[in-house]
Structure 1
């Protein structure tokens, strides 16, 4: 499976969106692979982590995110479920779940209902070690063109998550203890 070829099937090389998506995804993949390589070899599928990290944001093209060159109609929050749909259609169900479950530190069905989020009502929480590694690595990198290429500090990640509740910070801190260092 060639994740770059799959990205290029949906994102024309040379386009703004292709450039932003690829740079962001490569940064996430690099960090995720470093983390995976620190885990016991039998615990994590490093090749899958790399592929999933490269593909985790493939659904952004369906969203209305002009800063990223995305001309879709959906709220940006929907990029995870659209990525899942796209990768399910490609016959990549494990990769598809990473797309759906990588938003922040995950979303519960209860949160989706309580916050009236424009998402299907189901748990979208990273469950496998590989899903958690990709979600964790993603928290450190923005797709915002002004911030592209820069890694956020742990404190900036915590502050960003704190806006969504202290429970999100607690999850991040557990991940950071396991993956961060």
Structure 2
């Protein structure tokens, strides 16, 4: 469930954990801007979706806030955890701020969602639970995020083929789930009569 808080300042929250001038802060804000812009472009075309645009823009900025706890020197992050943990760590950060709905977006966007079975099979250092994007907003951030890499600072928007090839290196299930999202956001349902549609 989304946290119904309209007056939060995502940039101020990022700055609280990553000081002004830091490489990680700049990367997060740039990446968040790109993901938010992509998400809004999708919503403009997909008028059958009923998404909270303000929440989408907030979570576009905040969805990767947990990266500082990971060991990712190329992103300026000198934590101790593997990168795959950044979603659950982001959820923990935002839950402590009372932003539980935003935290779920953090947790559920990683890898197009990660299931308990995948966690066990691949011995991932994650809680053993399903962490799939469920709401329209969660799915939208998960989808839009895949078009941009933080390591190139958004200089290149990936194609669908590049995204699926990248996901296939980790798990073919990720490719299948991404393509489900791709259809959701690009193919108008035959029963869609107006701007609202049940998903």
TM range (shorter): over 0.9
Counterpart position of 1:72: 79
Counterpart among 77, 92, 107 of residue 100 in structure 1? 107
1:83-162 equivalent positions in 2, closer than 5 A: 83-144=90-151, 146=152, 148-162=154-168
1:57-96: per-residue Cα shift (whole Å, max 9, x none)?
0001111111111111111111101100000001001000
How large is the Cα RMSD of the aligned pairs? 1.6
Task: Give the length in aligned residue pairs.
Answer: 180
| TM-score normalised by L of structure 2 | 0.85
Q: 1:177, CA displacement in angstroms?
A: 1.9
SS of equivalent residue, structure 1 residue 23: helix
Matched, 1:62 2:69: yes
Give TM-score, length-normalised by structure 1.
0.93
Shift of 1:41: 7.1
CA shift at 1:40, angstroms?
4.0
Structure 2 distance, partners of 1:149, 1:42, is 29
User: Rg: which structure is higher?
Assistant: 2
Q: 2:32 aligns with which of 17, 20, 25?
A: 25
Contact preservation (8 Å) 2:39, 2:144: yes
Where 1:142 maps in the other structure, the secondary structure is coil
1:172 Cα deviation from its structure 2 partner = 1.3
Cα deviation, residue 164, structure 1: 2.7
Deviations 1:97-116 (A, max 9, x none): 00000002100001001100
> For structure 1, which runs of at least 5 residues remain unmatched after alignment?
none
**Residue 170 of structure 1 pairs with residue 176 of structure 2:** yes
